[in-house]
């Protein structure tokens, strides 16, 4: 989930900092290996923009744990959104499926913030047009609640109870120059 469309008020406070993010990703990597019994057939697909960076970091952690290279790619869901008609068309991001494909494999979708679940619904539709995985799981850095669809994450970095008057902003070094998760009040124009 990309959050720079959500300007925060200046009173935003960090709820996760760089070392915390590294730690939760390490934990998620171990959980994936444990649940997938070795992660032999795991493919990581990050949802642009920040989900892709998180997936790449997870792939590095998984390689450290398993000693094997884990295929990592990206899955753009723009064309599958259910609110396309509510906004001007958005620029597309890259969909990059690893050479191994997804057929018969365990696909772990990776995103930064899980909120309404609509993004993940779109991702499942997009994945359906690309192939038939053995199973699909979801890893998110932050679950902020307020689900609008029956969707849940298999791996959660941090459960963050929020109000709808608040906004969550994830910043990652690759895109924003630093690692942090900020929680703040929505600005007045939102």
Partner 1 sequence: MQRHLISAADLTRDDAVLILDTAEEMARVADRPIKKLPTLRGRTVCNLFFEDSTRTRISFEAAEKRLSADVINFAAKGSSVSKGESLKDTVQTLEAMGVDAVVIRHSASGAPYRLANSGWIDAPVINAGDGTHQHPTQALLDAFTMRRRLIGADAGLGRDLDGKRVTLVGDVLHSRVARSNVDLLHTLGAEVTLVAPPTLLPVGVETWPCEVSYDLDSTLPKSDAVMMLRVQRERMNAAFFPTEREYSRRYGLDGDRMARLPEHAIVMHPGPMVRGMEITAEVADSDRCTVVEQVANGVSIRMAVLYLLLGGNEPAGAQPATSHLRTEEK
Q: Which of 53, 110, 119, 157 binds partner 1 (CB under 8 A)?
A: 119
Rounded distance between C-alpha atoms, residue 46 and residue 37, angstroms: 21
- Closest to 24 (Cα-Cα) out of 175, 160, 176: 160
Q: Which is nearer to partner 1, 119 or 171 (CB)?
A: 119
Rounded distance between C-alpha atoms, residue 14 and residue 69, angstroms: 33
- Is residue 52 within 8 Å of residue 171, measured between CB atoms? no
Is residue 2 near partner 1 by the rule CB under 8 A? yes
Q: Which is nearer to partner 1, 49 or 180 (CB)?
A: 49
Residues 50-109 close enough to bind partner 1 by CB under 8 A: 76-81, 83-95
- Is residue 154 within 8 Å of residue 139, measured between CB atoms? yes
Applying CB under 8 A, what is the total number of residues that bind partner 1? Answer: 39
Is residue 183 near partner 1 by the rule CB under 8 A? no
Rounded distance between C-alpha atoms, residue 65 and residue 156, angstroms: 19
DSSP state at residue 171: E
Only one residue has tokens 């109000």, namely 163
Going residue by residue from 121 to 150, which x/- string records binding to partner 1, judged by CB under 8 A? ----x---xxx-------------------
Q: Which two tokens stand for residue 118?
A: 């609509």
Q: Which is nearer to partner 1, 3 or 29 (CB)?
A: 3
Give the 3-state secondary structure of residue 72: strand
CB atoms within 10 A of CB 99: 6
Going residue by residue from 13 to 52, which x/- string records binding to partner 1, judged by CB under 8 A? ----------------------------------xxx---
Q: How far is the CB of 24 from partner 1 (least distance, A)?
A: 20
Interface contacts to partner 1, rule CB under 8 A: 1-6, 47-49, 76-81, 83-95, 113, 115-116, 118-119, 125, 129-131, 167-168
């Amino acid at each position: 989930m990309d959050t720079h469309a959500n300007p925060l008020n200046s009173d935003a406070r960090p709820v996760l900092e760089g070392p915390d993010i590294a730690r939760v990703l390490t934990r998620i990597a171990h959980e994936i290996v444990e649940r997938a019994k070795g992660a032999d057939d795991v493919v990581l697909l990050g949802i642009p923009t920040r989900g892709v960076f998180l997936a790449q970091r997870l792939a590095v952690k998984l390689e450290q744990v398993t000693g094997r290279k884990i295929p990592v790619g990206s899955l753009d869901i723009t064309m599958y959104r259910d609110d396309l008609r509510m906004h001007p068309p958005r620029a597309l991001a890259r969909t990059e499926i690893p050479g191994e494909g997804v057929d018969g494999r365990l696909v772990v979708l990776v995103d930064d913030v899980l909120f309404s679940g609509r993004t993940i619904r779109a991702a499942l539709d997009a994945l359906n047009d690309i192939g038939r995985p053995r199973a699909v799981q979801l890893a998110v850095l932050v679950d902020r609640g307020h689900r609008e669809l029956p969707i849940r994450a298999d791996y959660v970095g941090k459960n963050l109870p929020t109000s709808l008057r608040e906004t969550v902003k994830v910043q990652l070094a690759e895109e924003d120059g630093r690692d942090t998760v900020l929680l703040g009040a929505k600005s007045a124009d939102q």
